Amino acid sequence: MAKLEAAGWLARAPWVWGEGSVAWLTRAGVQAAGLGGMPAIKSPPAPTTIAHGVLVGWSAARNEHRRREWKSARELAVDHDRWAVRMRRERGYASELPDLAVWLPHSEVPGAVIAESGYRREDRQKMILEGWRDAISSGTYSAVRYDCTSPSVAQRITRLATKVGLTRSFGAHAQTTAEQIAALTPAAPASQPAVQAPEPPADMVQITREPTLSQIHMAQSAELPPASVPEAAPTFELAEAESTAERERLIRELLGTDEPKRRRRWHR
């Protein structure tokens, strides 16, 4: 890191005492790393920008520990039109990117992760939540999770989300600590390599030739009427139900929500 900093590719600033420092690529570092399409951070960043970056960093660390594929907002900005969400403003509309996009196994649509400090006005925050509600409804993102600086901020975001109708595929929580991330069980790899059947030896390969017309007639005359085979019961409904349940389980895992509890039966 010291060599990159001396070359002007990397810059860093001290953070909370005992928690190291925050590092970022400079404009020259972005070009040297071959990431020319990714916007560089304005150097030096403001203290609020550093605090927000640390909050996002813990979200990325959690998903990295869970072996989830993710991209930061600066990576998503390379294809801004694909990943940006249209947000209502006091005057007109604007677009906004999530802090992280996280892909669940076997899913092409990512979930959005937002790092929230809780400093925005209530009316401004409601318009942002409306944008994420519409993004989920349109299928741009499968879910949205807010990682907040404190439980009180998470409660406030949840209350505002309920007001705008963002209750499906949504969760707001206090940001996880390093100890909580380390206690998480890493998920299994998203996909296993396919096992290919070994090729037969060369001396076992049979050379086939196209049959002649007379051989085709002889084969057709020698065929017996096919036996009636009972139709198998369709299994697509069961497979679809299983895949839906698995997708819902993964979304709950991304959002940090518990399994739905069964209601107790009432007895006299």
Mean pLDDT by 10 residues, the chain (268 residues): 80 68 79 74 79 91 94 90 93 94 91 95 95 95 96 97 94 92 75 38 36 44 47 47 67 65 54
| The predicted structure's pLDDT at residue 193 | 38
**8-state DSSP, 34:** T
134 token code pair: 């519409």
Which DSSP string corresponds to 94-151?
EEE--SEEEEPTT-SSPEEEEEE-S-S-HHHHHHHHHHHHHHHHHTS-S-EEEEESSH
- CA proximity to 188, closest of 62, 74, 104: 104
Contact call for residues 141 and 132 (beta carbons, < 8 A): yes
Residue 267 burial (CB < 10 Å; 0-12/13-18/19+)? Answer: exposed
Which amino acid, one-letter code, is at 65?
H
CA angle, residues 171, 177, 178, in degrees to nearest 5? 130
Which amino acid, one-letter code, is at 112?
A
Contact call for residues 33 and 64 (beta carbons, < 8 A): no
Contact call for residues 111 and 257 (beta carbons, < 8 A): no
| The predicted structure's pLDDT at residue 126 | 96
Contact call for residues 57 and 25 (beta carbons, < 8 A): no
Which amino acid, one-letter code, is at 118?
G
What is the C-alpha separation between 225 and 236, in angstroms, rounded?
A: 30
Q: Determine if the peptide bond prior to 47 is cis (ω within 30°).
A: no
Strand order through the sheet with 170-174: 69-72, 100-103, 111-116, 144-148, 170-174
CA angle, residues 251, 64, 157, in degrees to nearest 5? 50
How far lies 47's CA from each of 34, 35, 55, 177, in Å? 28, 25, 12, 20
Helix (H, G, I), strand (E, B) or coil at 236: helix
Instruction: Write out the E strands in 167-247.
Output: 170-174
What is the C-alpha separation between 22 and 63, in angstroms, rounded?
A: 19
Contact call for residues 160 and 126 (beta carbons, < 8 A): yes
How far lies 18's CA from each of 1, 14, 21, in Å? 18, 10, 9
105 token code pair: 């196994």
